[in-house]
Amino acid sequence: MNEYLFIKDIAEKLTSNIHEVIVGMDEAIRSLLIGLLVEGHILIEGAPGTAKTYLARVFSNSLGLEFKRVQFTADLMPSDITGSLVYNRVTGALEFRRGPIFANVVLADEINRASPRSQSALLECMQEKQVTVEGVVYPLPRPFLIIATQNPIELEGTYPLPEAELDRFLIRVFIDYLDSSSELKILEKKQLHGEKIEVEKVADLKDILRAIELTRRVYADKSILEYIVKLGQQTRKREEILLGVSPRGQVSLLYASKAAAALEGKPYVTPDHVKSVVNLVFNHRIILKSRSSNPITLRRETMEVLGEIIEEVEPPR
């Protein structure tokens, strides 16, 4: 019996569940599933009003996971995210009060509105899955997934995410405006349900942890590993690229490829699985030499370069 069909079944149920209240967003939903399976973090970029926050809530509710939202603002302090030591009058001791980061799914809403200092509070959480306060380490719950949102258009009052932080996101996915028929479906759903989020739970914590463990065991042949390395190295050879993909980016591509295979019920990675996620994993990890000031133009140019790289690097047969 193929154990991985268990993951495929959960993914199909979850996707169907989300589509009960959300129209479209297939690539974003798949990205969230990939992030969940490898406990990687997702950056969702899109214009205001494109249901980024709504998607995160519905996704979390469908899995019955603990969900916390942090609204990133200019006056947000690191302790507002991680927690802080609080004096207990009864015991006379300092006690650690956990911040909203201690949840399974944390929505970092409009992450680029917080100062670099507050953004840096996420670095340890994202990489080591822990929080250190006054030399004491507090592990975060499992699974742990940060879903960050940002608006690519507004520049005033925002702080660009530093490369070190961007590199810790497994995937950056873009949400664009839908076509007219899809937007009509949104209005019909809103007229019927309003803003209520009523979705069934399709899996419990035990199922999710099992899916994560199975994904970890997905097999990637040495030829696949070599293919991933070549794709990463090619981003450092292109003349139009100032900064290419790091080894962490190559590892992220491996993990995302394993998750892509698991979502199809496959216990092994194929070149097509790698190709299906390489744009999602690499698009925020390369910096072009001639960067456009228009974020939409920059995204298009980046995707064009990545498309050429995929064509240049021959996949294993």
With helix as H, strand as E and coil as C, how does the chain read? Answer: CCCCHHHHHHHHHHHHHHCCCCCCCHHHHHHHHHHHHHCCEEEEEECCCCCHHHHHHHHHHHHCCCEEEEECCCCCCHHHHHEEEEEECCCCEEEEEECCCCCCEEEEECHHHCCHHHHHHHHHHHHHCEEEECCEEEECCCCCEEEEEECCCCCCCCCCCCHHHHCCEEEEEEECCCCHHHHHHHHHHHHHHCCCCCCCCCCCHHHHHHHHHHHHCCECCHHHHHHHHHHHHHHHHCCCEEECCCHHHHHHHHHHHHHHHHHCCCCECCHHHHHHHHHHHHCCCCEECCCCCCHHHHHHHHHHHHHHHHHHCCCCC
Percent residues over pLDDT 90 in the chain = 42
In this prediction, residues 215-243 reach a mean pLDDT of 93
Q: For 146-204, what is each residue's pLDDT tens digit? A: 999 988 765 555 677 877 788 899 999 998 888 898 888 888 877 877 766 677 788 88
Q: Which CATH architecture has domain 218-317?
A: Orthogonal Bundle (1.10)
Counting residues of the chain whose pLDDT is more than 70, the rounded percentage is 95
Domain-wise residue ranges, the chain = 1-186+204-217, 218-317
Does pLDDT of 1 surpass 60?
no
Ranked by mean pLDDT, the top range of 15-24, 58-67, 244-253 is: 244-253
* Whole-prediction pTM: 0.89
Residue 144 pLDDT > 90, yes or no? yes
Average pLDDT rounded to a whole number, residues 207-218: 94
The pLDDT, as a whole number, for residue 197 is: 65
pLDDT at 21: 83
Per-residue pLDDT at 309 exceeds 90: yes
The CATH number of the domain covering residues in 1-186+204-217: 3.40.50.300
